[in-house]
Chain A
Amino acid sequence: MSMKIATVQLWVHDQDAALEFWTKKVGFQVTSDVTVPEMGNFRWLAVGPVSQPDVSICLMALPGQPIMDDKTQEQVLDVVGKGFAGSVFLTTEDVDGDYARLVAQGVEFVDKPEDRLYGRDCGFRDPSGNHVRLTQLNPDFPS
């Protein structure tokens, strides 16, 4: 079995805002940014950590008709804005350093770095309300 995780997807309300957040604030690189005019200007936008060029998060704008009707679009956006559209879990070697850097960038934190059994971690939100956890794993904790 040779399957790997390559890309996971987040719904965002504004791809430009998401791009700025993930690249300028979080520090990820753009792995794809392709707009297809003949497909209603569909934009495949993906970002990922520099240290993992084969792993990315696709920042997906909500498709309109005919893929998604207006009501559904509104519902999805509402769920994203309520913070219930899932989480992204990141790890780091220096959670306090990253926390300080992101706070200085004005990132909205839901909690500050705190020691837990599995490591020291904190949580923040992207501009749309998606929840991101950032953990410095405890090397002694059994995984």
Chain B
Amino acid sequence: MSDLPPARHLLRAKDLADARYAEPLGVGDLAAAAGLSRAHFSRAFRQAFGESPHVYLLTRRLERAAHLLRFTDRPVAQICLDVGLNSLGSFTTSFTRMYGRSPAAYRSAFPPAAAHAMVPGCVLRAYGRPQHRTFREDGADGPAID
């Protein structure tokens, strides 16, 4: 059998983050899924997918949190745990940075109208992905933070 596509092993790490974001996964677990050392993995992953594995996993978790805020009535602290994050403080900070408003404000801003969208869930997830933001990039013209 010939060589696999160059990024095929990295895709295994990405799929692991997509499927098991709710578990206490870390970059080490993702590196193991790709069969690479941790240091080499992070560099290769960033090169292939344009962001670090840590950021990728975090955005998956926050994206799922946004979904649960819109479509369930679970408390914010429960949603934080449900998506595999264990610090409510850093969850709120990261969420606010990424979505431009706090989890509670996000929930009240969006009626769950998309519940009626006749589009497969995997497609909604892929196209509804938030863009990762760092504090450094939050300039004066950045999104308002509630």
Contact = CB atoms under 8 A, between A and B. Distances in A.
Interface string A104-143: 0000111110101110010101011100010100000110
Contacts, number: 68
Overall SS of chain A's interface: mixed
Contacts of B1: 14, 16-17
Interface stretch (A25-33, A50-58, A75-83): A75-83
Given A118-B120, A133-B122, A142-B118, A110 B4 contact: no
A108 B122 contact: no
Overall SS of chain B's interface: helix
Interface residues of A, number: 30
B18 interface: yes
A111 B121 CA distance: 12
A121 B118 contact: no
Interface stretch (B5-13, B52-60, B91-99): B5-13
Interface residues of B, number: 21
B141 to A, nearest CB: 31
Given A116-B121, A118-B118, A13 B3 contact: yes
Interface of A: 13-14, 16-17, 74, 77-78, 80-83, 108-112, 114, 116-118, 121, 123, 125, 127-129, 133, 135, 141-142
Given A14-B1, A81-B10, 11 more contacts: A74-B6, A77-B5, A80-B5, A81-B6, A83-B15, A108-B15, A109-B19, A110-B19, A111-B18, A117-B118, A129-B5
